[in-house]
């Protein structure tokens, strides 16, 4: 990170970000992903371990392609697609530590996909929890449920998602579980909407719309 980056991040967190105290100690600043963050997102993603990259996309994605950055940055509108960046406060100043986003499902306006990633060296400090709660606080209007996918055995995001409301986990394809979270305060609304969900063959409970994404044009998110 250059001196210019340090100055830019310091100015950015004080102008656009909200400070959140971390339970183990320290502080993180969370604010919106900006239109000129393509290089930032690409550069920081490249520093992730192969495991963290896999857990993010449930596939081997060594780097973010231009078309992926189009989705991850250019399509953020703050209405149906909300994205936040976390900057960890260090002695040298704020440094990029993680990113999270909520994307509303077009066919299910009451539901959104959630994703968050924290750099390996900063994991375990509560940053992902802070991102998740900040995303819920800025959720698209009308969203009452989180419907997402998690790698089987990746317990950390399940623990975080479970803090946001009533959570159910469904076995999906090999190595992947589907997660539905009825956000706290919206359980009755979510129950009424569950009748609209697609059902996966062989699973009696409703699973999330991404199971039928190929047929309904639902976008992958990050």
* pLDDT per residue rounded down to tens, the chain (222 residues): 788 888 899 999 999 999 999 987 899 999 999 999 999 999 999 999 999 999 999 899 999 999 999 999 999 999 999 999 999 999 989 999 999 999 999 989 999 999 999 999 999 999 999 999 999 999 999 999 999 999 988 999 999 999 999 999 988 777 899 999 999 876 555 554 554 443 322 323 334 444 443 333 333 334
Angle value at C-alpha 147, between 80 and 129, nearest 5 degrees: 85
The domain that holds 128 is classified in CATH as: 3.40.630.30
Instruction: Indicate the pairing of strand 165-171 with strand 176-183.
Output: antiparallel
* Domains: count for the chain: 1
Task: Determine, yes or no, domain membership for 222.
Answer: no
The answer as to whether 36 is a domain residue is yes
Q: Could you tell me if residue 111 is inside a domain? A: yes
pLDDT at 24: 79
71 in a structural domain: yes
Q: Using an 8 Å Cβ cutoff, are 170 and 177 in contact?
A: yes
Residue 57 belongs to a domain: yes
> Measured between alpha carbons, how far apart are the two ends of the chain, in Å?
23
In a domain, 61, yes or no: yes
Domain that holds residue 93: 3-216
Which of 168, 112, 108 has the alpha carbon at shortest distance from 135?
112
Phi, psi for 21 (deg, rounded to 5): -75, 140
Q: Is residue 178 part of a domain?
A: yes
């Amino acid at each position: 990170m250059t001196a210019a980056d340090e100055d830019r991040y310091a100015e950015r967190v004080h102008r656009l970000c909200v400070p959140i105290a971390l339970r183990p100690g320290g502080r993180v600043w969370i604010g919106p992903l900006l239109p000129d963050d393509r290089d930032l997102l690409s550069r920081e993603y490249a520093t992730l371990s192969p495991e963290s990259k896999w857990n993010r996309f449930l596939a081997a994605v060594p780097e973010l392609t231009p078309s992926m950055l189009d989705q991850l940055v250019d399509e953020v509108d703050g209405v149906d697609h909300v994205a936040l960046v976390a900057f960890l406060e260090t002695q040298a100043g704020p440094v990029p530590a993680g990113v999270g986003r909520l994307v509303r499902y077009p066919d299910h306006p009451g539901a959104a996909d959630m994703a968050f990633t924290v750099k390996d060296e900063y994991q375990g400090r509560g940053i992902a929890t802070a991102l998740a709660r900040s995303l819920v606080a800025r959720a698209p209007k009308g969203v009452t449920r989180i419907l997402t996918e998690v790698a089987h055995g990746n317990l950390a995001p399940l623990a975080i998602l479970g803090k946001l409301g009533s959570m159910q986990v469904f076995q999906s394809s090999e190595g992947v579980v589907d997660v539905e979270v009825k956000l706290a305060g919206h359980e009755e609304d979510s129950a009424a909407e569950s009748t609209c969900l697609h059902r996966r063959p062989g699973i009696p409970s409703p699973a999330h719309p991404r199971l039928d994404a190929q047929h309904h044009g639902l976008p992958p998110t990050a």
